[in-house]
């Protein structure tokens, strides 16, 4: 049967309370989305050490999945909302969601010898290095240009036996690739516990050994290579932390950076690294540096 998707506008202070109230009224599911997504006002959420962690975006959509026969006027009254409160309603048709999702994800060629392959597909090239990864709750399925740039950088630059720290590991894809490309010790760190769990599961699926943890539980010490595929603002704030984790002469690769932000990030990281632009793709850049 079909369902209804109800989007309710909410500011930063209202979003979580409204989401809880919708669940209490019997909503099938509730999520919070950035109402400014896709605009110049779009803002990331992050919780890196030393950074503020907002409860929600400044402007939000609280999205609830409801039964098709939901009484919206009664629901608005129950929530204490005016009838003209900004909202959107869409019908959600019944579908085979598993097949629909799977049909949208084919194997992704990263290079001639490196592929990302969802578990329901057969590897196109049995001789290639295959990363088995399904779309899930953590960022990093290989479909985004920044993930591909980092994978390409690792393939081109990683030396056998090198120690690698993947900061902001998401799905664990870069750490897993590093192991398959011949790295020695590999550690993945993320501020999201769900990402840490997803990374561990993906490493097990790929039959590789890597350590994944929250920042406070990460192993101490410095690494030969550090790769960070996160947004520009967190990268800027994390310079002291990331620089301290790279050994003298070690290398760093940064992505998640828009092309127009590249010079600013290179100038900042130039305090600790000899930086340069490595590659650009679809408006995003990958920067590389060597610890001075």
Query: How would you write the pLDDT of the chain (292 residues) with one tens digit per residue?
Result: 578 899 999 998 899 999 999 999 999 899 999 888 877 777 665 555 555 555 568 899 999 999 989 999 999 999 999 999 999 999 887 654 445 444 446 678 888 888 888 777 677 677 888 888 876 544 556 668 999 999 999 999 999 999 999 999 998 999 999 999 999 999 999 999 989 999 999 999 999 999 999 999 999 999 999 999 998 999 999 999 999 999 999 999 999 999 999 999 999 999 999 999 999 999 999 999 999 9
DSSP secondary structure string, the chain?
A: --EEEEEEEEETTTHHHHHHHHHHTT-SEEEEEETTTTSTT-------TTS---SS-SEEEEEEEEETT--HHHHHHHHT--TTS-EEEEEE----HHHHHHHT---EEEETTEEEE-TTS--S-TTSEEEE----SSS--S-SHHHHHHHHHHHHHPPTT--EEEES-TTSHHHHHHHHTT-SSEEEE-S-HHHHHHHHHHHHHTT---EEE-GGGSPPS-EEEEEEE--HHHHHHTHHHHHHTEEEEEEEEEEEEEGGGHHHHHHHHTTTEEEEEEEEETTEEEEEEEE-
Residue whose structure tokens are 């629909």: 100
Query: Same domain, yes or no, for 283 and 164?
Result: yes
Query: Same domain, yes or no, for 44 and 182?
Result: no
Single residue among 42, 62, 94 that ends a domain in this structure: 94
Strands of 164-167's sheet in order across: 211-213, 186-189, 164-167, 223-229, 246-258, 284-291, 273-281
Query: Same domain, yes or no, for 148 and 277?
Result: yes
Pairwise CA distance, residues 229 & 177, whole Å: 14
pLDDT of residue 140: 58
Pairwise CA distance, residues 186 & 177, whole Å: 10
Query: Same domain, yes or no, for 145 and 269?
Result: yes
Range 98-126 burial, b when 16+ CB lie within 10 A, else e: eeeebeebebbbbeeebbbbbeebeeeee
Output the CA–CA distances (angstroms, integers) from residue 154 to 147, 166, 254, in the order listed: 11, 11, 11
* Residue 108 domain flag: no
Where residue 12 sits, what CATH number does that domain have? 3.30.70.120
pLDDT of residue 103: 46
* Residue 274 domain flag: yes
* Residue 257 domain flag: yes
Query: Same domain, yes or no, for 152 and 62?
Result: no
Q: Residue 146: which domain range?
A: 136-291
* Residue 263 domain flag: yes
Total count of domains within the chain: 2
Query: Same domain, yes or no, for 196 and 266?
Result: yes
Residue whose structure tokens are 């799905």: 171
* Residue 51 domain flag: yes
CB 213 within 8 A of CB 110: no
Query: Same domain, yes or no, for 213 and 86?
Result: no
Query: Same domain, yes or no, for 184 and 276?
Result: yes
């Amino acid at each position: 049967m079909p369902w209804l998707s109800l989007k309710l506008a909410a500011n930063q202070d209202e979003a979580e309370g409204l989401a809880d109230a919708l669940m209490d009224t019997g909503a099938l599911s509730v999520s919070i989305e950035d109402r400014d997504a896709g605009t110049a006002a779009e803002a990331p959420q992050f919780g890196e050490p030393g950074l503020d962690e907002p409860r929600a975006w400044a402007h939000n959509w609280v999205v609830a999945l409801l039964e098709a026969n939901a009484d919206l006027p009664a629901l608005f009254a129950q929530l204490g909302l005016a009838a003209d409160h900004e909202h959107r309603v869409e019908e959600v048709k019944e579908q085979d969601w598993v097949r629909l999702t799977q049909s949208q994800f084919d194997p992704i060629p990263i290079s001639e010898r490196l592929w990302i392959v969802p578990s329901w597909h057969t590897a196109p090239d049995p001789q290639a290095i295959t990363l088995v990864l399904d779309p899930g709750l953590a960022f990093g399925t290989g479909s985004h240009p920044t993930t591909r740039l980092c994978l390409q950088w690792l393939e081109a630059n990683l030396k056998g036996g090198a120690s690698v720290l993947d900061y902001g590991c998401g799905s664990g894809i870069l750490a897993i690739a590093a192991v398959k490309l011949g790295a020695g010790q590999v550690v993945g760190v993320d501020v999201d516990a769900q990402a840490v769990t997803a990374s561990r599961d993906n490493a097990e699926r790929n039959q590789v050994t890597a350590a994944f943890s929250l920042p406070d539980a990460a192993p101490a010490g410095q690494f030969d290579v550090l790769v960070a595929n996160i947004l520009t603002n967190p990268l800027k704030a994390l310079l002291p932390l990331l620089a301290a984790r790279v050994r003298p002469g070690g290398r760093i690769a940064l992505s998640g950076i828009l092309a127009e932000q590249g010079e600013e990030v290179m100038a900042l990281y130039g305090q600790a690294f000899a930086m340069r632009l490595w590659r650009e793709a679809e408006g995003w850049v990958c920067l590389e540096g060597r610890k001075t």
